[in-house]
Structures are given as structure tokens and as C-alpha cells.
Amino acid sequence: MLYGRLDGQRAETRERLARVLREHGEDPSAVAERNAASTHYADQLSRLDAAENGLCFGRLDLADGERRYVGRLGMFDEGAEYEPLLVDWRAPAARPFYVATAAAPEGVRRRRHIRTSGRTVVGVDDELLDLAGQDGAGGDGLVGEATLLAALNADRTGHMRDIVETIQAEQDRVIRSEHQGVLVVQGGPGTGKTAVALHRAAYLLYTQRERLARRGVLIIGPNTGFLRYVSQVLPSLGETGVLLSTIGELFPGIVARRTESAEAAEIKGRLSMVEMVAAAVRDRQRVPDEPLEIDFDGQVLHLDPETCARARDRARRTGLLHNQARPVFVAEIVDALTHQAVELIGADVYGGGNLLDAEDRAEIRRELLEDQGVRAVLSELWPVLTPRRLLGDLFASADLLSSAAPWLSDDERALLLRERAGGWTPADVPLLDEAAELLGVDDRMARLRAERERRERLAYAQGVLDVLAGSASQDLEDEDDPEVITAADLVDATAFAERHEHRSDLTVAERAAADRTWTFGHVIVDEAQELSEMAWRLLMRRCPSRSMTLVGDVAQTGDLAGTSSWGRVLDPYVGDRWRLERLSVNYRTPAEIMSVASAVLAGMEPPLDPPASARSSGFAPWRCATRPAELAGRLAEITAREVAEVGAGRVAVIVPAGLLEEVGAAVVAAVPEASVGPDPDLERPVVVLPVARAKGLEFDSVLVVEPALMLAESSRGRNDLYVALTRATRRLGVVHADGLPEELAGLRERGGRLQCPERREGRGRRNRDLN
């Protein structure tokens, strides 16, 4: 019945969309309305399409006899006073599906998980909450155990899936949190932080659609590979209007492809760069050491340092940004030159005094403003600067660098010095943004234009409202219906004009991506521990409301500029006004693997508790020692066997950065479909990737290569190793030629023939130790 209705709604929406697209009318208001309507219907259609798989996945039988179905969207029976047929998972009425327990049943007698394949029901799992005390079901933390385990044990595909059918109570608390400000979600690996962050975005879009549709939601991830990996989750929940981005993509017009050392990136992430950028701007507002000579109209004009200093002080005292203050500087200098020129050109050598009148003086001023020599001097003393020019010049000059950042050591400045050509790195982007904030643009003309357009829009909106009010009062007379509400009752002309402000076809996400100064309604940051202080500054500018959800794990910080303390990151922006939520159950990594990773975690500062695994796999992680010369070849052979073991699943070989090429080449020789590199194709059966790029990803089987080298490669090597060890959903092996870090000494030796204990022992059982 529900699918029948879904088909009906889709056909109707498609028809409406087609009708809108067929409409003619070329005047701007018709085009704007057509665009708005077609976007609305297209969004609606994609929501309906997304509900196809698993439309209805739950049923609640309540103690009072009511039966409630839970699914991907809400459906109502128009013929029966809008009786709910299906409750959207985000609606309050669906909440007991995720949080009811035997101890707190929330009026639920039975919870049913309905598993479907296409439109066919393939299984139901019931939990009787009022009987839970007797049969042991549902009383100890995990909700919908059978369905959950089926999801956790499924082969990985290279794309993250939504978890809407099996959200757990602690996750639900985060997803539906009513906290308005900064919400930090700290949780160990596999606790569902990414999943929760994405479902929270979907939840907020549902509960605050009007506001968020206007301002948009921004989701920040650590790299484009990760964003690709998670990119299907929101569309599968019917939500598409979200901007997924890395920090390196947040400066419109710049693609940050240049690479640099981790040490250089760390320096650029420090808060002291604010002072460096400000000093670099000040250094470009110059006063010459000697008087300058300018040839003008057969005369030589002199510009002395005092005049320049006075002009600079006056321009600076305006408090305007560099480019906006420039006209003040220019006016001062040109006035001084005009005065000199008038004195020279108009001097009455016989009678004394000056032969030039006010009009002549104005003419000379105009000529000076257009004179090439004068312009060159002004550009030297107070140039128009773009962020790219400012930082391009700065990083290409040892002198400019040492003047702008004298507190850096010579070695540190040497790390920043580079060729001008070659583009930008991700760590440059927050600096470019900082520079843009200090430079500003001389936008007087643009503002005049915008004001004119605003007035036109307002007049148009008032016209529309007058027409609507007229026709509504007509209706009123015809039908004598006091309930009629006119458009003007609901919105005034200014609000109406704002709605029509953007007449282009661009979506909110596209407009936001193209506008550096766009401020978002909500910002979600995944792997938030990796962001530098400068990146936080940029993000806070994009979210003045501080409506943010930050998810991460300070034990997994790999970036040298990242953090080990949420308080330290947030203090400058919100003081202690942020809320911390913790996630404690690991849904990815089986208990056997987590106990290996926990030994690595134990050596970290500050000490953190490892999350409890939701299940055990029955597969013991192993190690395999080999000689250095045989490492790559041995790995290739083991990888090929793992591929056969995981069947349709995915295998990852995670290596220290220095071994990527060698190991990658050997693995590709053995498994030609393998994808190798920092940004591999995750849909391939095997990927070989450096440890720094493994963050946030997961695979059925993981081979960790040379853990001792991972520890040594970076000052955050322990965190990197912890990340590598916690990427597997089923199987973990460690292959090494170097010595093994002592934390991993307890691993069993891999046997000569690969055993398949999972099959012997049964796959993916619930971890009975949980809680």
C-alpha cells in the first residue's frame, strides 16, 4: 500500500515538474518563479526516489493498541483526516523506535525491524519490550540486534551506507540534540561519528528546513577521497542541498593541489599567522627612504617621505581595510602633487601669485590621477592587493617573510619560502581567507549597483503583493469567507523581495560554494581533531551563529596542526559554552582487533578509554615477519589471498608514506585491479594507501605494513598507527620487516596456510562482554 502511494506521489510530482518546465514567460519574475518551483519539485522528487529502498523499516506496537510504522518519509491518508500511514524517522513519533528499552519502554510493547530487498519483505525481527526481562532481549544497550548485526557484517562497498534503520540510543541523542550552539561529539574509532554527523544534518534539514534551505549546511571532511566515500549517505536519506567540502576548497577560485611538508603546513596552521598576514599587509603600505621624483608635464615633482608618511597615517586612521583605505591615501598624495604642480606651472614670474584658477587646478589633479608615472608610484607605495598577490609575494621573498614574521626561526621561515608559481596548498587557504578579511575590496561601485537592484526588487515585490491583496479581497467579496489570508498578511514586501533576491538557477550549496563570505545555517565538521587553529578561524567566520556539530576523536589526530583538546580549540570562540557528547560503542572493529588497538591507545596522552566493540568476529588478528628485501613481494602474495577471503568485500593495504610506491607496485603486479595512491578508488577490491589517508575509511580486511615505521614517520605516529589498526570490519594482519612495536608483540604468528576461522566459528557474533 505504501509503495503504491509512493508511486502515485512520484507520478504526480513528475507531472508538476514537467508542467513547470513547459511554462513560457521570459520576464524576470516569471523566470524566478519557474526556477523556484522547478527546484522545489525536483527536490521533492529526489526525496521520493531516495525512499525506494527500505521505505518502511520499522513498526511500533504501543501498549494502548496503536500501531505505528516508521520509514524514510512521512505519509498521510488524505481521505481519513490525514491519519499517519508512515512516520518519518526524524519525527518525534518515531523516536521510541530508536530509544525504547525494556527498562524505559516509552509506551512500546513490541518493536519490529522490517528487512526488505527491493519491495519484498525478507525478514522481521521483533523485540518484545514488556517481555524483555524474561528472554533477555533488548535490555542491555543494543537496539534491534539481529538487524544491526546484519548491517555490521555486510560486505563493504567503497561507499558509506546510511544507518537509519538501526540508529542506537546514544547516537539518537546526538542526532536529535536540541543544543543550539557548538555540540562536540567525541568517540573512539567506529562509534558512528561520521554516520551520526550525516544523520544529524538530515535531521536538522527536516526540523528547520525553511531556515537551513536559505543558509545551507556545510559539512567539512579531511580530504576529497573521504568526502566521496560519504557522499551517498545524505542523498540516500533524500537530502541533497548540502555542501560537502574540505578546508582546502573553501576559497572560491582556488583548487589547493600544491603539496608541502607536514612541518610547513603546521606552521601555517598556527594562530600567530594572523599577525604575520596583518604585518604583511602593513609592510605593503610603504614610505620611501628618499624623496621620489616624478616627471609631469615638463616639470619634475618631488614626493618626500614626510608627505607619504602623513598620507599613510591618515589612510590608516580611517580604520578601513587596505584596499578600501587606498582612495584616502591616493587623494592625499595627489593633493600634494597638485599643489606642487600648480605652483610650478602657474607661477606668475613677473607679477608674483598664480595664474591658474580653480578649474585649471581640478584639471591638473585629474591629469595627475591618470598619469602613468604617478600611478606607478602609488602602486609602489600602497598597491591594490588581492589575497593571492599578497601571499604569493610574501612566500616568494625571504625579506618580506622575515619582516612579517620575525618571531619564526630561520629554519621555520625557510620552510615557508617557495617559488611563486605552483599554486596553493590546503594550509594556504585559511591564510588567503585571513588576507581577504584584511584587504577587503574597494566595492563602492558594486554597492551602489546592489542598492539600486534592491530598490527595484522591493518595488516589484510591493507590486506583486498589491495585486495579490487585490485579488484576495475580490475572493473575499465573492465567497464571503473571513478565513481568507492574503499574502500580505504572511509576508511583507521586504521579506518577499529577499525571497526573490537570487534569480539564478544556482542551488544554495552552489551559491555558497562560490561566495567566500557566505555564512551557513549549520556547520558540521568531521574528523574535527585535524583542523588547525587557522582553519577554525575561517570556519567560525562562516558560521557566526555558532550552530555547529563537531565530531572527532582526539586520539586519532594525525595532522601536526591538529588538536588533542577540544577546550583549547573552542575556547577563543565560545568559551566554555559548548556541549560534549560521547559515543562509547564501536560498531566497526570487532573485539579481537580492538584489543590490539587498545594497547596502542594505552600509550597516549591524555589517556582515553577504548570504545567497547559491538561484536566479535571470531577471527584473531595476526602478524607476519619477513626480510626487508621480501616485504613487497610477500605483501603482494598475502593481499591476493585476502582478496579471495573477503569475496565481494574490500581489502586495504595501509602503509607508511615512504613505502607507498614500492608496495603499491608489487600489489598491482599481483592484483591488477588494485588502486594505489593517496586518493585511491575505494570501489576497487584492493587499495594501497598511505596511513594519513586512511582516516575515516573502513574495509573488510586490512593489512598494516611496517607499524614501527609508522610510529617513527611522524610525531603523531602513534595516532596514525591507531587509525590504521581500527579500519577493519572483519580481518586484520600486520606485515613487517622491521621490528614490531612492543604493543603489538602479543599478535599471533600467521600460519603458513591462511586459515579461515570465521567460517569455522561463525561470523560476526554479538559481543556478549558489551556493558
Residues that bind ligand ATP (CB under 6 A): 148, 151-152, 161, 163, 166-168, 171, 187, 189-195, 553, 556, 587-588, 696, 698, 726
With cell 567566500, the residue in question is: 516
Phi, psi of 518 (to 5 degrees): -60, 135
* Cβ closest to ligand ATP, residue 273 vs residue 694: 694
288 is in an annotated binding site: no
* Cβ closest to ligand ATP, residue 184 vs residue 635: 184
Instruction: List strand residue ranges (DSSP E) for 24-82, in order.
Output: 56-62, 67-71, 75-77
Task: Compute the distance between CA of residue 737 and CA of residue 719 in angstroms, rounded to an integer.
Answer: 21
CA 179 to each of CA 95, 204, 234, 534: distance values in angstroms, whole numbers, following the listed order: 17, 11, 22, 25
739 is in an annotated binding site: no
User: How many other CB atoms are found less than 10 A from the CB of residue 757?
Assistant: 14
* Cβ closest to ligand ATP, residue 40 vs residue 582: 582
123 is in an annotated binding site: no
- Return the residue nearest ligand ATP (CB atom): 192
Q: What is the CA radius of gyration of the chain?
A: 32
Cross-strand pairs, 77: 83
For 650, the grid coordinates are 574490500
Q: Is the peptide bond before 607 cis (omega within 30 degrees of 0)?
A: no
Give least dist CB 115 to ligand ATP, A.
Answer: 13
Please count the helices (runs of H) and the strands (runs of E) in the chain.
Answer: 32, 25
As a whole number of Å, the end-to-end CA separation of the chain is: 41
* Cβ closest to ligand ATP, residue 507 vs residue 529: 529
190 is in an annotated binding site: yes
Task: Compute the distance between CA of residue 156 and CA of residue 206 in angstroms, rounded to an integer.
Answer: 28
Q: How many CA atoms lie within 13 A of 187 on its CB side?
A: 29
Give least dist CB 315 to ligand ATP, A.
Answer: 50
For 402, the grid coordinates are 622575515
Give least dist CB 526 to ligand ATP, A.
Answer: 7
703, 654 contact by CB (below 8 A): yes
194 is in an annotated binding site: yes
Task: Compute the distance between CA of residue 305 and CA of residue 327 in angstroms, rounded to an integer.
Answer: 19
129, 106 contact by CB (below 8 A): no
Dihedral of CA atoms 185, 186, 187, 190 in degrees, nearest 10, equals: 60
Task: Compute the distance between CA of residue 163 and CA of residue 720 in angstroms, rounded to an integer.
Answer: 27
* Cβ closest to ligand ATP, residue 656 vs residue 696: 696
* Cβ closest to ligand ATP, residue 163 vs residue 328: 163
For 382, the grid coordinates are 600602497
721, 693 contact by CB (below 8 A): no
346 is in an annotated binding site: no
Residues making up the annotated binding site for ATP are 187-194
